[in-house]
Structure 1
């Protein structure tokens, strides 16, 4: 569903939800201790599900929250609304029984709504409620028709459906699946175009002062830009009205979906990849992005069991699921798993043992999860919540370099910079991988941070549409931002900066290699050599200096700004040559040596290290925010081969040196509950782990 939500997530005005707790009663989700199991029920399973077995399974798996179907596409309860199609397999009281029996065992129930489609019978009565493409086509999945967000079904009837469910059942939350504008059929991978429904045309005309709804998604067209504003406005308006309705009914009902505004729980998804290379850091990426970009929200990142929309009955590999779940809790989310159907008679049960293990582990050690504070002095700016294309590859490549080097870092979504001004100024290094556009307010925050002592590193086409910013911050002018660098070489010429290239004089290149005038920078490094003569060994050579450089450094009063106008992240993400990673790591070490000194270890690159400060997450400790210690999460990714997942290899005799102004009173391992030998001297904690299997959490209490 990543493509479906990519546009939606950019449409929301990004600031914290407006939930107000006027009663003074604690909002249940604020504990941030979710252990969610989502049962995505096919219609026919409504005939066989049993409340007792569902509750027994949830207890067996240590889950404390169930997410289950209620309505929208079809009602899984006895609806009285004639515009709400009833699941023909539905048993009258099963949803009510599930909710009642879950509550008896202190299990919360979030119910799922999907208002993206209506049944054919509803379409035949109200065709004007449904999507219409510029070619006059509908988006249809068997007998379900995609609706128009501005038509009465979404604008009026959806609220009636939600209200009916709230009035009938004591639910704890609502989850909105596939909200917003639908222009794709994600189940078939087909794009259909801007919705031309009459209600959309009238709504857009009213918003724009009589303009005609565009038919092409052309970013250069002012009319399309106005349409994007209109979509943002209409989605926000609908979300705000939903928020008012739900909270008027019961402020203890959590609203959960994939965006942030008027929402209590932001949901994200770790999904299987359809293209190589696979991304084993999906959960760390998703949770790290959301939890730092939206600090006033609870994040729940779902491990999606299915391999694809066409392969729903096969689950991804157990070791991939294990990595996702451990990354969730290590970064500050709870646990969340989404499956097709209920747990009885499931078509692929290979992940059950992993789910039981990690969920029970989280339950047992719950006080050490969910109340974290970052220690990172480095932040990577993310190109949105659901990155794709070149920006995604550049962004992931930069992450990969830092994770393999065990450098702690936060992730901040590009659209949230303007809402996190003070937080941004607190970092000592900001890395911008292919961040091609920032609002003027965000650019000013970068400039202010630079003046205050924050170093900057920008890669590839970052800020190409703001030439004055490139010149001011980096001393750079673009001559050609899109230049195929295949066949060029870079020279790591300055040995005081490039200390990782003993025995290597030329670094090959591929993908984009921007040609920038860096005469405004204080240092120009990595001279670019020409492509030379292609052919047999007898005639090769001719790699002469071009006069261009692949790196520039501009000195500011209290900081430095480095520009690397090339796909340095993408080339490492796709090919993994250490020389390209070392360019960035040497640059970081030059401007911020302490980045690599916060955590030092002999652990292999495939051991993910996540270091956080924590306060104990208990009911009695709910108002405490001061740090009570640090916790080092170790996630063993040695079983990841690049295109599959195996059992991780055990790793022995791991050593860690951690910067800490405080001496721990005790250090112990969560998996064994046994003490870990350590010493503290000159502001550093030194400790050793005898053996690492799949995961370890090392707690250092003050």
Structure 2
């Protein structure tokens, strides 16, 4: 049986209700605001730290402000208006009064101290509160309220408060006993990867969380199989900012890809956070940034999603409303064209974790995006069978150090079947228990032995030889390539072909001394034939260097690796790097989407500049009876060598070019937004 969330036009608004918001909440007005945006799903506070309903449980504090319409009434009005309602719960903390009655539920530092933040005390995943009593709260909540799903905020081991202070490993009695029983060891004091006990603790944490999530999911499905559970039936992430933290311009694109995976098997809810950071929850980020995030979500198989503090009607800073509404309304008008789409990308990037921003992976994401290479992102835990890579031609592993033997074998199988594996740095040098391997697990890379790993390079660089220039045409005028500080010294198998040669450390000052006297035979890139495919090993962190420094030198090298050695399809060589390109397909249509990122300047976001006269060459387009745009552009198609040349006259913020299969409603080459016929279609 099909569940309600499968194929559902997901337009989420999360109103993170403060206690005081329940004092005067009017259900009709609240839902009316949601309808004005075009929302189809709402996430609102229900239980945990504070109960937004009259609870009978002594270990859950009831809000003092329940004087407006009830939670039941809000759900009822939402349902009447066709809006699904998901309960937001938070069991990471309890009120201090509850803690005083149950001190054993609290997280403890190594000194035995609790974390008391504004009267809310951190709890531990292994404590009795999260192991037992949270389930009683959920049972009461869902017995009395007809929710459609659940989201648990801050699940897991929370070691940091809202001010950013870290408290380290939990040393509560439950954690101590469980770790001692499992490993016969005491908990480590510090978070030190050199300590084997800490590495065991990382595995311990992962196992505890996996076990708890599985139990939670089963519990919810016993209540009703029609409850959508975050992390299983839909997946929520955030594009957010924090004061003092480096911004990431492709956050929404990347999160949507990583959540959905290649098959887009469940709703991807990447919440675009309205506020600047924890301390400024009432002040919005730049309107252009919020609109850009929504377009990025949409263009990468995700859904439009807004997260703000308070209610829509009493939120004082409404500067982001207009741009967000624009994208919500656009999606509402064009729902059918996005239904059932799957990625048509031939490239996939493995990402270490959903919530982790690793510079090596970010650099690859930037380089691929700015080279107009459509790609997917994959979390390691989803690689359970080689079929997860079906339809892919290139797999990029950006310093993915920890892989299981099974995962490594599947990647080797992908390469042997004709795939290209590109790996950098210390990829597969460790296992998923965080233990080092003597030899990397990936055989397709052709590494025979490890000699050394250095993190202190200063002036070492690689030289592209005269006889290698054909493989690196974009580096024709820049034969030296800067690797950054990290370099793996590995002995490759004889079948591996090396490119570039290492120029070792040499003086870089004073100017009179700035020259080198020798060139080694150590390669900067090795290509190893493996079955029908190959492995490309880059012993340095090329992605990290590009993400941190951003030079054309590095981008040119990555492009030559992708296009000349990896044989990726080059679709838009003349298109500005500021435009993002993605391609999605269904049996009914192919959709080429373009996002204009030109408004991003340093750490600010402005309205994008129009991009004109765009040309895209597509080699693999399904049979189509018509082609049209959804957002005002005019498109022209013509046959080209080995494919189809697509020309778009103008890109504003976003455009979708739809190639509709024969026999579907659109039988003309028109703009769906304006209704005007496009000028040419040959």
TM-score scaled by length of structure 2:
0.91
1:437 aligns with 2:413: no
1:201 aligns with 2:176: yes
Match of 2:504 in 1: 530
Q: CA offset at residue 72 of structure 1?
A: 0.3
Measured against aligned partners, the alpha-carbon deviations of 1:587-640 in whole angstroms (never above 9, x if no partner) come to: 2223343x224x3353211000111113xxxxxxxxxxxx21210111000110
Going from structure 1 to structure 2, the CA distance change for 1:462 and 1:237 (only over 3 Å counts) comes to closer
Going from structure 1 to structure 2, the CA distance change for 1:323 and 1:445 (only over 3 Å counts) comes to same
1:668 aligns with 2:668: no
Match of 1:699 in 2: 658
Q: Contact (CA 8 Å) 2:439, 2:450: kept in 1 or not?
A: no
Q: Contact (CA 8 Å) 1:531, 1:543: kept in 2 or not?
A: no
**Any idea what SS the aligned residue of 1:538 has?**
helix
Match of 2:167 in 1: 192
1:545 aligns with 2:519: yes
Q: CA offset at residue 101 of structure 1?
A: 1.1
The 5 Å alignment of 1:147-546 reads: 147-185=123-161, 187-206=162-181, 208=182, 211-219=185-193, 221=195, 223-256=197-230, 260=231, 263-272=232-241, 274=243, 278-292=247-261, 295-388=264-357, 392-417=358-383, 419-424=384-389, 426-465=391-430, 466-469=437-440, 472-476=443-447, 477-493=449-465, 494-518=468-492, 520-546=494-520
Runs of 4+ in 1 over 6 A off after TM superposition: none
Q: Contact (CA 8 Å) 1:551, 1:564: kept in 2 or not?
A: yes
**Any idea what SS the aligned residue of 2:295 has?**
helix
Aligned-residue CA RMSD in angstroms? 2.3
Match of 2:30 in 1: 54
Going from structure 1 to structure 2, the CA distance change for 1:458 and 1:64 (only over 3 Å counts) comes to same
Q: CA offset at residue 168 of structure 1?
A: 1.3
Measured against aligned partners, the alpha-carbon deviations of 1:7-32 in whole angstroms (never above 9, x if no partner) come to: xxxxxxxxxxxxxxxxx3x3111124
Q: Report the Cα distance in structure 1 between the residues aligned to 2:372 and 2:246, rounded to whole angstroms.
A: 21
Match of 2:594 in 1: 634
Q: CA offset at residue 275 of structure 1?
A: 5.5
Q: Report the Cα distance in structure 2 between the residues aligned to 1:377 and 1:240, rounded to whole angstroms.
A: 32
Match of 1:99 in 2: 75
1:605 aligns with 2:565: no
Q: Contact (CA 8 Å) 1:532, 1:544: kept in 2 or not?
A: no
Measured against aligned partners, the alpha-carbon deviations of 1:336-372 in whole angstroms (never above 9, x if no partner) come to: 1110100123132110001110001111101112422
Q: 638, 646, 654: which one pairs with 2:606?
A: 646
Q: CA offset at residue 172 of structure 1?
A: 1.1
Measured against aligned partners, the alpha-carbon deviations of 1:408-428 in whole angstroms (never above 9, x if no partner) come to: 2111112322x1312326422
Q: Contact (CA 8 Å) 1:334, 1:370: kept in 2 or not?
A: no
Q: Report the Cα distance in structure 2 between the residues aligned to 1:667 and 1:51, rounded to whole angstroms.
A: 43
**Any idea what SS the aligned residue of 2:591 has?**
strand
Q: Contact (CA 8 Å) 1:41, 1:341: kept in 2 or not?
A: yes
Match of 1:146 in 2: 122
**Mind listing any 5+ residue stretches in structure 2 that lack a counterpart?**
431-436, 662-682
Measured against aligned partners, the alpha-carbon deviations of 1:430-462 in whole angstroms (never above 9, x if no partner) come to: 111111111000111121122111112111222
- The number of residues matched between the two structures is 652
> Which of structures 1 and 2 has the larger relative contact order (alpha carbons within 8 angstroms, sep 6+)?
1
**Any idea what SS the aligned residue of 1:184 has?**
coil
Going from structure 1 to structure 2, the CA distance change for 1:77 and 1:677 (only over 3 Å counts) comes to same
**Any idea what SS the aligned residue of 1:68 has?**
strand
Measured against aligned partners, the alpha-carbon deviations of 1:63-117 in whole angstroms (never above 9, x if no partner) come to: 1111111110101111111111011122274212211111111111111100011
Going from structure 1 to structure 2, the CA distance change for 1:273 and 1:546 (only over 3 Å counts) comes to farther
After superposing the two structures, state which structure 1 stretch, 42-51 or 419-428, moved more: 419-428
Q: Report the Cα distance in structure 2 between the residues aligned to 1:232 and 1:181, rounded to whole angstroms.
A: 10
Measured against aligned partners, the alpha-carbon deviations of 1:21-68 in whole angstroms (never above 9, x if no partner) come to: xxx3x3111124211111111222221222122111101111111111
Match of 1:656 in 2: 616
Q: 69, 75, 85: which one pairs with 1:109?
A: 85
Q: Report the Cα distance in structure 1 between the residues aligned to 2:472 and 2:184, rounded to whole angstroms.
A: 59
Match of 1:5 in 2: none
Going from structure 1 to structure 2, the CA distance change for 1:530 and 1:224 (only over 3 Å counts) comes to closer
Q: Contact (CA 8 Å) 1:332, 1:372: kept in 2 or not?
A: yes
Match of 2:113 in 1: 137
Q: Contact (CA 8 Å) 2:262, 2:343: kept in 1 or not?
A: no
Q: CA offset at residue 519 of structure 1?
A: 5.9
Q: CA offset at residue 158 of structure 1?
A: 1.0
